[in-house]
Structure 1
């Protein structure tokens, strides 16, 4: 009997660490509601205090509603607290900001370490400026989604570290490698704004092997910025993979489009593609020869949520709430 019980416990553990368990939890329309208001009219005055109040090894949806205002905090969502949503009311009136630089893993204003995380209608900002690396958002977890968020810094703005991620209708701003990491991420209908005056780089994707199913996919959306000073990407990893599809490219994009980071050997192994992009920056007549103009068939695997397995874990906004008990 004891051995049967142990087997059942093992199966339950395996089930609840899989996408299946994520799908079961995320399909729920009920969530625990926690209200953050810096004026003192909510459950907590700070966002981190609300996150700290979530039980370790959490297994239910927690919806943290953040009232408008500027929250000067450095926030961590720890790995043992999955299924948390942070939601403002509009990306322009609910801001999380900090001022830190240096190490890319220590400087982020917001660090997401827990799976099944959602952020809605927030500005996430690092005010470190042009002095060096200052990460606004670090995402080091699987199954994370961001809707209507503004992510702002200068260098390494978004450390899209690892896991499967979805960004929808977000505004991401920076100058140097401002989307970097080795996640498998779909950026749909997002605006990328370059602050670079000379050589700027939007992406530094870190795929190290052709067997890794990672890469940055930009579907729809637009690229804006100062004329002629920015490339679409450069390879942090030897097998860096970035695709832009149906994206408007302004004159911010340099005619040659991509950079090899002064390592010509990577030109043979990177996968940099464009498909049906348009605008003055999308002219491929002077593109580097090692980038690709994708055909319809070549682009097809990247034009949906398959690369992130989104159908199994992207979840709707909860419709029923229960009160958080302190």
Structure 2
């Protein structure tokens, strides 16, 4: 009898583990995101907070108030955000896995997102870019600061690593300071943290996405819009199956600062299997043949566009140099099997600042596991990525 009881208890425990709510399980996640009379129906109720701008069934009316209520430990928490516009900055400093979900009936299509988190700020003289960001993921202020000069802000030794697994699904983050490139206006700032952004939109004009020091950011099935250097940083960004919308041409799409480390690193921005295009038909004729794939923020810039569609907005020579010149033998501005009207083989053959990679040359950068590193330089740092999206 005891043997049967033990077996029953074991099977019950095993079943609970197998059936546990999982953020990476599409059915579980979609069940939580769907509208229902009880907003947390389908969610992991023990670990999920609900945010609703109009109150209703929620004790939280802002995303930041929900984030601030979480304990600063390594436990996992989910925040479900009701449809609506939220005018606020969101700042995530905790280490434990933290997941933001937007309510939606179309969880596989970013174009139907119903949650917009909006801020309006610009980096005026004397103000670091970090203060402008709509969403910040970093353990503290020092870790998030951009700074200036070839190496940027010197983050103090001993600064702890922040969130080991931050994710967003079906939200839009917007910095709408001005409808043109003025000065840095960040929609996302992530440093000393791992972040995955799925079916998520980021919208600004200048410096939309900042991936700072020891930042790892993975983007998939979303949209990023900008005009000037709208992917920039020091860390590592992998951008896959993403709509990259050109609101105008200024600087380049990418601008990166490489960093000297005691170990080999592959810090840089990798845009793969994505779609680079004019944001709308009215701007398409204005920017035709004028937009650069990138320019070196410092000489150790690493930016690779691979198997990506380029529309006619892209200039024939692809990448450009900074002014004054920064491009040298340590700069990597490269392409691999791009296509579309913005890929001009004749122009690329004449380009001074654009390299076409062979398959063998591309292989070391061809998967997230080959570029994402731990803070001490170990490759294969991908446990935080949702590869099922």
The answer, yes or no, to whether TM exceeds 0.5 is yes
Q: Is the Cα contact below 8 Å between 2:187 and 2:208 reproduced in 1? A: yes
| TM norm structure 2 | 0.70
5+ residue gaps in structure 1? 1-24, 318-326
**CA root-mean-square deviation:** 2.3
Larger Rg: 2
The structure carrying a bigger strand percent of its residues is: 1
Residue of 220, 227, 239 corresponding to 1:187: 239
Alignment correspondent of 1:266: 327
Q: Is the Cα contact below 8 Å between 1:168 and 1:187 reproduced in 2? A: yes
Equivalenced residues, count: 290
Matched residue of 2:270: which SS?
Answer: strand
- The 5-angstrom pairing of residues 1-326 of structure 1 reads 32-40=47-55, 41-56=57-72, 58-78=73-93, 80-90=94-104, 91=110, 92-102=113-123, 103-113=128-138, 114-115=162-163, 116-129=165-178, 130=180, 131-162=182-213, 163-196=215-248, 198-209=249-260, 211-225=264-278, 226=284, 227-287=288-348, 288-306=351-369, 307-308=371-372, 309-315=380-386
5+ residue gaps in structure 2? 1-21, 29-43, 105-109, 139-161, 279-283, 373-379
Q: Provide Cα deviations, 1:88-120, integer angstroms capped at 9, x if missing partner.
A: 134431000011111311111111113211111
| TM norm structure 1 | 0.83
Matched residue of 1:70: which SS?
Answer: strand
Q: Return the structure number with greater relative CO, CA threshold 8 A, min gap 6.
A: 1
Q: Is the Cα contact below 8 Å between 1:26 and 1:314 reproduced in 2? A: no
Q: Which moved further from structure 2: 64-73 or 103-112?
A: 103-112
Q: Is the Cα contact below 8 Å between 2:47 and 2:78 reproduced in 1? A: yes
Matched residue of 1:49: which SS?
Answer: helix
Q: How many angstroms apart in 1 are the aligned matches of 2:70 and 2:275?
A: 37
Q: Is the Cα contact below 8 Å between 1:223 and 1:248 reproduced in 2? A: yes
Q: Is the Cα contact below 8 Å between 1:209 and 1:238 reproduced in 2? A: no
Q: How many angstroms apart in 1 are the aligned matches of 2:216 and 2:121?
A: 26
